[in-house]
């Protein structure tokens, strides 16, 4: 599984994933484990590899590098940011937001910390705090990333049209910022366009994002989701199969969905592989990290809407992104229990009222 539990992934390290440049960095770090700069560089590389390849061992590698600062209330800035990223990867969104807010109390101009905190609080369901962090990004002199930060919030509140109306103007001109920032902003804009029904614009934005080196699994999955939603499973399967890490859980799931819709010869094998991975996650105690994927699997591969609804509700209790809301709505309708999705509307209204 693409699990995010260090107790699991550290045990899985047999040296295979920690190879090449990462292995050299690790050996250097072993000679100076308290070197914050070396630890941060190694952990950052490990997290980048995880985002690109989906191998959960890299989360454990990153945590191992940061172990000397695990309980440090004020670690060096780079270490602190990485600690927040790891907490988010483990779906500990409120904990990540709290830790990052402590960082911002000390490092008031840490824009990366503001963006990470905004994302953590948005996923945790605290829109007020997320908005405040987005505003901080704007006040720090970064209006374009701030707009995308706010666009993510608008989508979580069920207002993709407003998000797209704002972000589409930004992307009519040249790209802004370093490649990873460009890719993130293009992905936010693409997801807003897709949710607003602007399919042509969304596909164009996705292609621009995918053309930037280092496309993440999340980006490939989001692109495939649009193709599948548009009834284009063949294109989705081709795109997924040619992705750098097609066997990661997120991409394997979407391959299984596409194969089922195409009545592809591999549909049963893909389904069985996913079932086995979910069973392994249950055994290892990491199933909570995969409730979204389990809900998608039950709904779109196993044709089990009741199970899908149960997982979608559990997932909504943990993370409240627009994709989580859409999944819960779809599962509730499929199970013949549309009232189960009313918690979404209640939460959104509560967040809007608090924002007034």
Q: Which tokens sit at 226?
A: 């649009």
pLDDT averaged over 10-residue windows placed end to end, the chain, 356 residues:
33 43 89 94 94 88 95 97 97 98 98 98 98 98 97 98 94 85 97 98 98 95 99 98 94 98 98 95 86 98 98 98 98 98 97 79
Query: What pLDDT does residue 72 have?
Result: 96
Q: Which residues contact 236 (CB under 8 A, 6 or more apart)?
A: 224, 227, 228, 254, 257, 258
Query: What pLDDT does residue 355 have?
Result: 66
Phi then psi for residue 319, to 5 deg, are -140, 140
Q: Compute the distance between CA of residue 166 and CA of residue 185 in angstroms, rounded to an integer.
A: 12
Query: What pLDDT does residue 356 have?
Result: 55
Query: What pLDDT does residue 4 have?
Result: 36
Provide the phi-psi class of 304: left if phi over 0, else alpha when psi is between -120 and 50, else beta. beta
Buried-state track 328-353, b at ≥16 Cβ within 10 A, e below 16: bbbbbebbeeeebbebbeebbeebee
């Amino acid at each position: 599984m693409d699990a995010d539990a260090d107790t699991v992934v550290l045990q899985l390290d047999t040296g295979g994933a920690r190879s090449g440049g990462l292995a050299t960095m690790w050996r250097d770090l072993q000679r100076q484990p308290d070197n914050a700069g070396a630890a941060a560089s190694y952990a950052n590389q490990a997290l980048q590899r995880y985002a690109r390849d989906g191998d959960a061992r890299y989360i454990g590698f990153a945590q191992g590098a940061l172990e000397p600062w695990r309980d440090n209330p004020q670690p060096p800035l780079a270490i602190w940011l990485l600690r927040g990223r790891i907490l988010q990867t483990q779906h500990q969104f409120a904990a990540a937001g709290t830790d990052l807010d402590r960082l911002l109390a000390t490092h008031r101009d840490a824009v990366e910390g503001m963006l990470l905190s905004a994302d953590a609080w948005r996923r945790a369901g605290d829109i007020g705090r997320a908005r405040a962090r987005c505003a901080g990004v704007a006040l720090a002199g970064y209006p374009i990333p701030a707009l995308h930060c706010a666009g993510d919030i608008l989508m979580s509140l069920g207002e993709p049209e407003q998000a797209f109306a704002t972000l589409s103007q930004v992307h009519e001109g040249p790209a802004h910022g370093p490649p990873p920032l460009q890719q993130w902003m293009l992905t936010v804009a693409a997801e807003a366009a897709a949710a607003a029904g602007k399919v042509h614009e969304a596909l164009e934005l996705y292609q621009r994002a995918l053309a930037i080196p280092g496309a993440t699994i999340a980006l490939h999955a989001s692109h495939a989701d649009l193709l599948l939603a548009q009834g284009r499973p063949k294109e989705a399967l081709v795109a997924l199969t040619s992705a750098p890490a097609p066997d990661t859980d997120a991409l394997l799931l979407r391959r299984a969905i596409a194969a089922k819709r195409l009545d592809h010869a591999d549909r049963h094998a893909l389904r069985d592989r996913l079932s086995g991975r979910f069973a392994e996650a249950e055994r290892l105690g990491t199933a909570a990290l995969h409730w979204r994927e389990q809900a998608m699997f039950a709904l779109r591969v196993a044709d089990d809407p009741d199970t899908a609804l149960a997982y979608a509700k559990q997932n909504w209790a943990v993370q409240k992104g627009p994709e989580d809301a859409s999944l819960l709505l779809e599962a509730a309708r499929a199970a013949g229990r549309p009232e189960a999705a009313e918690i979404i509307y209640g939460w959104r209204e509560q967040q809007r009222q608090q924002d007034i």
